[in-house]
Structure 1
């Protein structure tokens, strides 16, 4: 855990948080931040596809994909209940929160993959495919939960399903993953200096920007009550533990069980806000985004990810034949 907390990526994230809290004028231009995000999604998709091409498609991929889909569809339910009963949110706002906490964060997954590497573990490449699969079900479930409050929502072309399935992050991840599978290791050698050697350095820049954005979002918001703050920490803990435990139960390796926990614990702040803007425009987007980006993301990057990795390793050691 200490190695993860003192890694360059986490330290640059902490630098961004401290700079924002100190009201520094440090900033990364929005266009640069978007370019870095595109780079990271392409890189993680390519490397996942290359890994699957080398390993082949097996039963572990099918098991992990099925579990990921189940988690993405199920995790919004307790989040919605807590939003309604514990935090006193409207049905629409609770549904928006539920969709955020059932879907996943690409950047949290990338940070988790690096933390796994520092711990001497390596998640299988197919977990990138699981990541892509887990983007959408929670959005659909969130919409269904809010149907009474939001009325009928068009799911066809140009509507929620189109936004969920063809938003930029899904297109980049799936497309890059397929390209990686097609070119394999031999083809990846040509572009490895850009998408492998430079990966961690560019991730440091991105997490610096995320630290700035997260801290400013949390500092500037007036919409988070103590109960919402509690939810923003409790949900990733509960979801992450559930993800690790269930993945271990179905026989995934500790590294993949930890990756599943990281995915389950993460909360979307890119794909879901875009989809909710179309599906539930009356929802308070500031609340959901402040929770996922301002509280949950920093918690996962600094404390949550090391805990999920430690739990996965401990379960594997305890149940070792």
Structure 2
């Protein structure tokens, strides 16, 4: 219930309602981009400051290993399921989208944990960055194999080297990691100086950004019209299944509560920025409406409103 009283979540719901009402309310793209970069920078700094205090521990190494494992497992399972009902290239694109992560979902979850007083490691921001690329590589490899079997060479595609370079050097991802490194190096001094920027403003900026995301989510849901039923089922049930697998893994690895919740959130989220940008180049045969409608229209909305409190509750019961 508290999740529905959170102003950031209420702004997201307001944005969804405004989008469904076909309002002309809109956040200019340059401003939305700035908000996104601010959130990533602030998150990176917070993670760096936390790592400065804790250092590299067994929990840190174990959490990062679990994140990489989930980043490989989720797209693999997704492709096996989706390829039974969708075209193989479509299945590869959706699997890559769900194998990667949503930074905004993670940021919202970390803010929720802060308000609940649940401790989590700053290294989970690094885990988020590590989970971005494996799914992209998976999709490229699978698509290459499919095209080889189909002997289709008529689609102009950028080189694998270029795609790998873009997936590893995405601006948002670099800013996140760079900010984290700066936080680790500068430590307590920068923490005190930058607190008004990275902490005090965070909730207000997040609320404004979620308003924009709500508008986009409402407008992307319509893209799923006439899509196969499995798209709806997977967009709703897939994330919950991924979160439960992550919970089991977190229990086996002995992760602390906050880190377990964030691993669940990362595993259940789906990319709607970095991966789609790469897929447009590497899998031009697949309509972006398919994976954008699923990830942003359904999964993102459900995770923000219902998923985060559900995953928190499940972890509290089991960890």
User: TM-score, normalised on structure 1?
Assistant: 0.93
Aligned to 1:118: 115
- Please give the per-residue CA displacement for 1:54-85, whole angstroms capped at 9, x wherever unaligned: 11111111111111111101110121122211
**2:34 alignment partner, SS class:** helix
* TM-aligned CA deviation for residue 221 of structure 1: 4.7
Q: 2:159 aligns with which of 154, 179, 198?
A: 154
Aligned to 2:59: 60
Kindly report structure 1 stretches of 4+ aligned residues shifted beyond 4 Å: none
1:275 aligns with 2:278: yes
1:296 aligns with 2:299: yes
Whether the 8 Å CA contact 1:245–1:312 is kept in 2: the answer is no
**2:160 alignment partner, SS class:** coil
Whether the 8 Å CA contact 1:223–1:287 is kept in 2: the answer is no
Aligned to 1:47: 46
Structure 1: 5+ residue runs without aligned partners?
317-321
Aligned to 2:153: none
Q: 1:133 aligns with which of 121, 127, 130?
A: 130
Aligned to 2:25: 26
1:90 aligns with 2:93: no
Aligned to 2:186: 183
Q: Distance in 2 between matches of 1:111 and 1:299?
A: 13
How much is the aligned-residue C-alpha RMSD, in angstroms? 1.4
1:246 aligns with 2:249: yes
- Please give the per-residue CA displacement for 1:267-303, whole angstroms capped at 9, x wherever unaligned: 0111101121222122221100110000000010011
1:163 aligns with 2:166: yes
Whether the 8 Å CA contact 2:71–2:135 is kept in 1: the answer is yes
- Please give the per-residue CA displacement for 1:189-246, whole angstroms capped at 9, x wherever unaligned: 2121111100000100000000000001113553533321111011110011111221
* TM-aligned CA deviation for residue 170 of structure 1: 1.3
1:173 aligns with 2:176: yes
Structure 2: 5+ residue runs without aligned partners?
149-156
**2:117 alignment partner, SS class:** coil
* TM-aligned CA deviation for residue 134 of structure 1: 0.6
Aligned to 2:268: 265
**2:178 alignment partner, SS class:** helix
